[in-house]
Amino acid sequence: MIAEEDLPEWLRRAVARGDSRDTLTQGRALACLAAAVLPADPVRGRALLDRGRDLSLADRSFPIRDLVLAELAHAAAEGGDRAKARELVLASPDEGRRTAEFLKLMRSTAPDGVPPLADEAETLLWRLPADDRAALPAAELATLLAPHDPRRSRALVDYAEGILPSVVDPDRAARVLAELARASTALGDTAQAFARIDRSAAINVGHPDDLALLLTELAETAVAAGDRDLAVLLLEEARTLLADAPDPYMRFLCSLEVARSARIAGDDRTAREALREAELTAPAVEDPYQQALAWTELARLAPSEDFVPRALALLPSIGFPGFEIEVLRRLPAPVHDHLSRALSSGPWPVCLIAALLAFPDPAPEVLLRIADDLLTTAL
């Protein structure tokens, strides 16, 4: 067993084993450490976030860059530094991604984080062309603003509705309408919400899994608007569509969303059946990493079942330490023997995440020693 006070030495050994060029796992590790360090020492916490930002911006893969910046921004928000969170979102050169990440940050920091972040998000939104790229963010921002500033929310609803005809992709148009239905519900415009639910559901999205996901979103909106019967009908239609979804992993994810939405709707029967369908679909997922993630999601929803051992049994087949630690990170409870192996043999980002999972509330002096080591080492 590894003692908490020995963690800095284990991390030093991991760094000495060689560099890790996996930017995503590096960024996640620095984000996890920064979130833990920020409350104890904001200066060191911000320095760790800056280190992660520099790593992400040096990566030529734009999706990786934006994923890392998003994780760092959420870590800053989790650590209580919203100014740093905004700065990290703005570090992305892609204005569309910035707007999307501000909206995610608003959700994660609500309710007290909404007003300042809303100003940033709306400023970025008005910079986007008035076409299909702006319609969905405008609708999402309208939903988030509705409880705080109904006037601004209605103006954004009107703006999104006005540019909706420019959205030629039916899937995207359906999602804009679904989000506008949510905004109408949040504003108390129930009749308008139902009209938009009908318009959204009437669009032929084409892919059964996409349409099933859309129907689960509409069902939750119908519940919020007070029509549980409509929600149940929408969820039943979603389950029927999933029988034709070709990709087992997407079929699994959609079944899980149906189960979650059914619980929100109070439809226990549909929730149980959808959860059972997800369980039966998981073994058909061929990729070991995706199947392991499937079992972790089921373990979160039904912790009394034997889903955790099924996820752990797939770890040797994954073959990539960054993905293995991501499975361990998503499990509902730490699995200390697997974390100890990651601490003793993994590259430094895996070792660091394993340490923070194995000791979720370490002593501040241990955290700060780890932070100082990483900040003074060429990784």
Alpha-carbon distances, residue 244 vs 44, 83, 261 (angstroms): 51, 46, 20
Q: Are 96 and 133 in contact (CB under 8 A)?
A: yes
What DSSP element (H or E) covers 334? none
Q: What is the pLDDT of residue 246?
A: 86
Which residues of the chain fall below pLDDT 70? 19, 109-116, 204-206
Residue found under tokens 């330490």:
321
Tokens of residue 368, six digits: 């700060």
Q: What is the pLDDT of residue 110?
A: 63
Q: Are 208 and 245 in contact (CB under 8 A)?
A: yes
Kindly report, residue by residue over 202-238, the tens digit of the pLDDT. 886 667 888 888 889 889 999 988 999 999 999 998 8
Residue 145 Cα to chain centre, angstroms: 20
Spatial CA neighbour of 156 closest among 80, 217, 103: 103
Tokens of residue 186, six digits: 């949040």
Quickly list DSSP for 104-131. Answer: HHHHHHTTTTHHHHHHHHHHHHHHS-SS
Query: CA-to-CA distance for 249 and 304, rounded, in angstroms?
Result: 23
* Secondary structure (H, E, C), 207-248: CHHHHHHHHHHHHHHHHHCCCHHHHHHHHHHHHHHHCCCCCH
Query: CA-to-CA distance for 100 and 66, rounded, in angstroms?
Result: 11
Sign, CA torsion 230/231/232/234: positive
Q: What is the pLDDT of residue 19?
A: 67
| Cβ-based neighbour number of residue 183 at 10 Å | 28
Spatial CA neighbour of 184 closest among 219, 232, 229, 150: 150
Q: What is the pLDDT of residue 204?
A: 65
Report which DSSP code applies to 306: S
Alpha-carbon distances, residue 363 vs 236, 254, 366, 370, 371 (angstroms): 50, 41, 5, 11, 13
Buried b (16+ CB within 10 A) or exposed e, 351-377: bbbbbbbbbeebeeebbbbbbeebeee
Q: What is the pLDDT of residue 114?
A: 64
